[in-house]
Structures are given as structure tokens and as C-alpha cells.
Structure 1
Amino acid sequence: MTLYVGCHLSTSSGYTAMGQMALGIDANTFAFFPRNPRGGSRKLPSEADVAGLRLIMQEHAFGPLVVHGPYTYNLCSATPKTIEFAQQAMREDLELLEELPGNLYNFHPGSHVKQGADVGVRLIARSLDEILFDGMHTTVLLETMAGKGTEVGRSFEELAAIIDACRFGDQLGICLDTCHVHDGGYEIAHDFDAVLDEFDRVLGLSRLKALHLNDSKNPCASHKDRHEKLGEGYLG
């Protein structure tokens, strides 16, 4: 089994440049934001730039890329305009990824803003039903969350509820962030096998498509979401 390992790279020099940079650090995958992670504006790559990245990936047997939706997306906001923005921007992101078929699109499910987790789950699933489409070549990943504030996705059960409520459930997977699940209350530092068993029971390991490897600045179940360098936090 091939292990695909990489890091987050910047699009500032273009898509082909990201592939070249990945090769330079001996990575065989990488993650990137398709637009401003804290805003929403984007600069579209040229067809030639995207084609250059595709060629690098083919020639060097890259694994699936993990494209990360901006933090500003909230599919379960209490403000309709916020949901509409997230839906439109995600549609655009997924249209772009049709030029890079077979990769992964990861996003934070959102915050229910005191509407309640059940309402949040329903709104996220409803939005995904409007965004995803038949024949798409991208798997969309829900990221495990730390449970800060009113975040949805703080437990495997909440993520499973979103998938179960979405008619495009077959196109959905999970990105497990080690800091987030630790901060959310899962004892991955002391019994990772038990956490994986729980994941398998609730979601099924076939849904686990990507890992964000981050240490945490805070103890288990802190619900803080403060990343630390690997080996320098509570995960060790």
C-alpha cells in the first residue's frame, strides 16, 4: 500500500509550481486553497497551468490532492446570504476540480449559530444536495471538528447524520484532523486503535479518505482547535 504524504502549499505561483514544489520536498500529494481562505476571492488558473500540474501528477504517481474550502464557508448559517455565498463558491470550486479529476475537496461543515446541531445537520445536507451533481469526479470530505462554539461535526455521529441525510452520500467522505478529534474528546494519543474502531462503527473506515496530521496546544476534550507543531503538543 502506497502512503501519500504532503503539506499545504500556496497557489501564489500557480498550479504547476505547486506540483514542482511538492516534488522538491519529496511529497507525493499536497493540499491547497482554491481561493482566499479567509475571504472568498479567487484567481482562476489558466488551462495550461492546470494541465502542467496534471502532467506532474501522472508522471510521478501522485496520490489524490486535498483541496481545502475556505474557512468562511458556512452551509448552516442562520443568515441565508451566508449560505448562498458558500453554495455558490463551493459550486465554483467543484467546477474547477473537474479539470483535476479524481481528487478530494475538504471543507469545515459549518456552525449552527445557536440554531441547534440537528438544524445544522439538516441545513448542511440540504446545501450539499444543491451543490453536488451526478457524474462529478471529486469526492467531497467533511472534516472532523473540535467542537468550538457551535461547530457541527464535533462527533462521528454528527458527521454520519449529515451523510445519511444527503442524497449524494456516495460522493462524501471524511478528513480526520488529529488536533480536532483530540480537542473534540477522542483519546487518539492514548488509544488510537479504539478511536479508529469507533470511527469504523459509526462511519465506516471506507469513508476515511484523508488525514490532517496536527498536534494540539490543549488537552483532550478542550474544544479549542489550537494546532501545534508535530511532537510539541499534547499528542506527542
Structure 2
Amino acid sequence: MLNIGCHLAISNGFEAIGKQALEIGANTFQFFTRNPRGGSARKIEQTDVDALKLIMRENGFSQILAHAPYTMNLCSAKPETREFALNTLKDDLQRMEYLPDNLYNFHPGSHTGQGVENGTEQIISALNEAMFPEMHTTVLLETMAGKGTEIGGKFEELSAIIDGVENKDKIGVCLDTCHVFDAGYDIVNDLDGVLEKFDRIIGLDRLKAVHLNDSMNYLGCHKDRHQKIGEGAIGIDAFIRIINHPALKNLPFLLETPNEIEGYACEISLLKSMVE
């Protein structure tokens, strides 16, 4: 069975988002923990969370994925930005305990001129301060396109962060198809080779989720511009191989394509039809 879903807005609560996922044929979903551009998080009601848990249990949902806001930069050159990011991370991981055994994804960050090594050390320090042994969430580093001063455009950069994290049983990776393609990993013509490289550098056991996005740009462009499935440079044939690959097919797949809810429903139906 394909574990497929998309990004949904949490504004109406957890039960509502679970019902919306069912309406579009999804059995997983992604949501922002708070406004993606920053700000406070909505109050969590236990009854609302319990209603979502029931929906997930009765309908065979796979793990769901919470996404940190884009403004959470743990390796900014500005101390106040790093402090804001650390406080957000700490709060998010505590709030995730309402939904145990799920996933929390974030962009590693941009070192803003400090260099990859210094930025990596700051990310590691923040993770070690925010993560705790008894937590029930797996934190995922997202593969990035490598634009500007982004960290995470190379598998080696993600590996270096993981190596420094103390709670290694709670750290993993979310592979974004648009990002890795734009970063220069040829998942169109050499998916096996890319996954073998991932396994050698990071370990496929660390791969916990996949963002399914086509790309508006060419291989290695370092742009990060998502496109609808089959309408970009990655193409439909590559997505057939991706969702059916033995190393990937049991993971949760989350769409972040430029769509409204009706478009996501169509893409979910399309992807389900591609399962071999």
C-alpha cells in the first residue's frame, strides 16, 4: 500500500485535518507546527488530538510529518535569530509529544556567511539542547537544493550533523525529490546510484520520509522550485521508479507541489495508479 499524502493546513484543528486527508484519499499528511513564516503555535486541545489519533488508527495511517517554520534558522550569523530558532525547536518538540511516534522535519538552515563548518556546529548544538532521551518523535533533516549558504545540499553535510547528535536513535532524514535533483543528484537516470551513495554516506536506515516534488529547473541548478508531478524536469517515469523502489516504497510520501486541495487529490489518485 502506498503511504501518500500532502501538505494540509492545521488552522481548523487536528480532527479536521485528519478528515480532510481522508476526503482526498490520503493516509498520511504534513502540517506546519505554526505559521511557516514564524509566530506562535495554536493551542493544542487533547480531545482534538485524540480525535485525530482515532482517525489515524481506524484508517491505517502511516506516520505523519510536522514541518518546522521556514524562519527557524539554527545556524544564522545573528545570535538573536539562532535563539528564536532554538526556542521554536524546543517548543515544537515538546508539543510533538501530544502525537507520539511521528516525525518532525526541518530545513537545516543557512550559515549566512559563517561557513559550513561553523553552521554545522551550531545546528548540532541546538539539536543536542532541544532533543531529549525520552522523546517519542524522530527529528528529520531535510535534503536541500544547496542554494546560497544553505546547509544540507550534500549528503556529507547531513551526515556531519547526524554524527554530532547525541540522541542518534531519534534523528533521520527526509529526502526531497526536487531538492536532491536541483542539488545535482540524478534521481532521473541513476536512482539506484543516488540511493547507494545515500546509504554509504548516511545510511538508508536513517531515511524516514520522502517529499514528492517535481522540479521547475534542471539537474544541479541549486534553485529549489517545486513543480507538479510529471510536469517538470524529473518527469512521470522517474516518479514511478521512486514510489516503487524497494528502499522507498514503504515510507510516507508527502506532496509539496504547487497545488490547491483538488490538485492534491488528483495527484494522490495518479500516484496510487502508478503502484506496481
**Within 5 Å, which residues of 2 pair with 1:76-225?**
76-225=75-224
The one-character-per-residue Cα deviations of 1:111-149 (angstroms, maximum 9, x if unpaired) are 001111111111100110000001100000000000010
Partner of 1:49: 48
Count of residue pairs the alignment pairs up: 235
Residue identity in the other structure for 1:103? N
Q: Which has the higher contact order (CA 8 A, sep 6+)?
A: 2
- Superposition deviation, residue 3 in structure 1: 2.9
Contact 2:38/2:72, CA 8 A, preserved across alignment: no
**Unaligned 5+ runs, structure 1:** none
Separation in 1 of the partners of 2:141 and 2:2? 21
Contact 1:40/1:72, CA 8 A, preserved across alignment: no
Contact 1:125/1:165, CA 8 A, preserved across alignment: yes
Contact 1:183/1:219, CA 8 A, preserved across alignment: yes
Deviates more, 1:134-143 or 1:20-29: 20-29
- Superposition deviation, residue 57 in structure 1: 0.9
- Superposition deviation, residue 192 in structure 1: 0.7
Separation in 2 of the partners of 1:213 and 1:143? 12
Stretches of 4+ aligned residues off by more than 2 angstroms: none
The one-character-per-residue Cα deviations of 1:56-102 (angstroms, maximum 9, x if unpaired) are 11111211001000000001111111111111111111111101100
- Superposition deviation, residue 40 in structure 1: 2.4
- Scaled by the length of structure 1, the TM-score of the pair is 0.97
Separation in 2 of the partners of 1:103 and 1:155? 25
Partner of 2:248: none
SS in structure 1 at match of 2:190: helix
User: Over aligned residue pairs, what C-alpha RMSD do you find?
Assistant: 0.9
Contact 1:40/1:89, CA 8 A, preserved across alignment: no
Separation in 2 of the partners of 1:34 and 1:136? 17
Residue identity in the other structure for 1:95? Q
- Superposition deviation, residue 36 in structure 1: 0.1
Contact 1:106/1:142, CA 8 A, preserved across alignment: yes
- Scaled by the length of structure 2, the TM-score of the pair is 0.84
